[in-house]
Amino acid sequence: MKKLALPLLALIVILGFAFGCASGYTPAPGPDTSPATTEQPTVPATSPAPASTPESPSPSTPTQGELKVHFIDVGQGDATLLQGPDFTILIDAGRHDRSDVVPYLKSAGVKTIDLLIGTHPHADHIGQFPQVIEAFPVGEVWLSGDTTTTRTFERAIDAIEASDAGYHEPRAGETFSFGSARIEVLNPARLTGNLHEGSISVRIVYGSFTALFTGDAEAETETAILARQPDVNALILQLGHHGSSTSSSAEFLKAVNPEVAVYSAAEGNSYGHPHEVVLERLRQMGVQIYGTDVNGTIMVITDGQTYEVQAQRR
């Protein structure tokens, strides 16, 4: 979107029309007006970090190949697949009363999962942990460490225990490498007993591409994250708590400064997610918005330098 050379822009517009999709060049955010398929902004790979980035911008990682970030349409729940050339990460595993995650992963060609993250123990996030763990070899599982008493949660931890997976409860400030991806843990610093406050939040760096996932962290937790002064700047932001107004404070959005925001929610859900106030805040900032309720499964494809967004439907 930024710094596109004119001929390239023209080409994209032409291709856009040729393939029957919106050009995706003018920032016209909102689920109703989002471009259906592709957009090809240029990631400022070598230019200085944007002004909103804290003093010590994190370095990019060496990359070879494509990362596909799949925001899987799992109804009113969350499941995001990060499929890289040398890593496979699943952040959350859908709702407990559906069984759509394993079939999707199989169709995407997943054979093994290096890291399975359950951002927090609610049933719309860890719902299909048992199926996923039974269907694929899983290297390592991360949970926040918060617990709950549902059968769904108990089945999830039973499945982890029955598997060969390693187990970790990540804490803010830790950094991990999975293949050519770096994972920076932003939350929790410690557990409070409030499951949303304990949501594992991670910033993924692949080349100069960045994406931020905060699970169901709410505004108080966003404030706590910012107070710890990590680099939160990200091109792609998954909106916290399904686009609820409990999350995505103006302050947090400003700090993240995303180009694209994605939320996962079911059409006509009982909570009215995503909330209009959040969408409006993003529109004011010129951020492109995609949602699984409107767009179905959304895929962001990057080579670590540039990215494009592909949506199942417009």
Partner 1 sequence: MEKAVVDRIVDKRHAVLLVGENEVEKIVSIDKLPPGAGEGTWLKVEFEGDELVAAEVDAEGTARVKARITAKMERLRQRGRKTSK
| Contact set with partner 1 (CB under 8 A) | 96-97, 114, 122-124, 139-140, 143, 145, 147-154, 157-158, 160-161, 164-169, 176-177, 195, 244-246, 270-271
Shortest spacing between CB 208 and partner 1, in angstroms: 22
Nearer to partner 1, 50 or 173 (CB): 173
Nearer to partner 1, 194 or 312 (CB): 194
Residues 36 and 23: beta-carbon distance below 8 Å: no
Shortest spacing between CB 186 and partner 1, in angstroms: 18
Shortest spacing between CB 47 and partner 1, in angstroms: 30
29: tokens are 């955010």
Shortest spacing between CB 54 and partner 1, in angstroms: 24
Shortest spacing between CB 292 and partner 1, in angstroms: 17
Nearer to partner 1, 199 or 310 (CB): 199
Nearer to partner 1, 38 or 246 (CB): 246
Write a three-state SS string for the chain: CCCCCHHHHHHHHHHHHHCCCCCCCCCCCCCCCCCCCCCCCECCCCCCCCCCCCCCCCCCCCCCCCEEEEECCCCCCCCEEEECCCCEEEECCCCCCCCCHHHHHHHCCCCCEEEEEECCCCCCCCCCHHHHHHHCCEEEEEECCCCCCCHHHHHHHHHHHHCCCEEECCCCCCEEEECCEEEEEEECCCCCCCCCCCCCEEEEEECCEEEEECCCCCHHHHHHHHHCCCCCCCCEEECHHHHCCCCCCHHHHHHHCCCEEEECCCCCCCCCCCCHHHHHHHHHHCCEEEEHHHHCCEEEEECCCEEEEEECCC
Shortest spacing between CB 241 and partner 1, in angstroms: 8
Nearer to partner 1, 58 or 147 (CB): 147
The full length of the chain comes to 314
Q: Which residue is it, tokens 């962290």?
A: 217
Nearer to partner 1, 57 or 166 (CB): 166
Nearer to partner 1, 169 or 303 (CB): 169
Shortest spacing between CB 204 and partner 1, in angstroms: 16
Nearer to partner 1, 195 or 260 (CB): 195
Shortest spacing between CB 2 and partner 1, in angstroms: 34
**Burial environment of residue 186 by CB neighbours within 10 A (0 to 12, 13 to 18, 19 or more):** buried
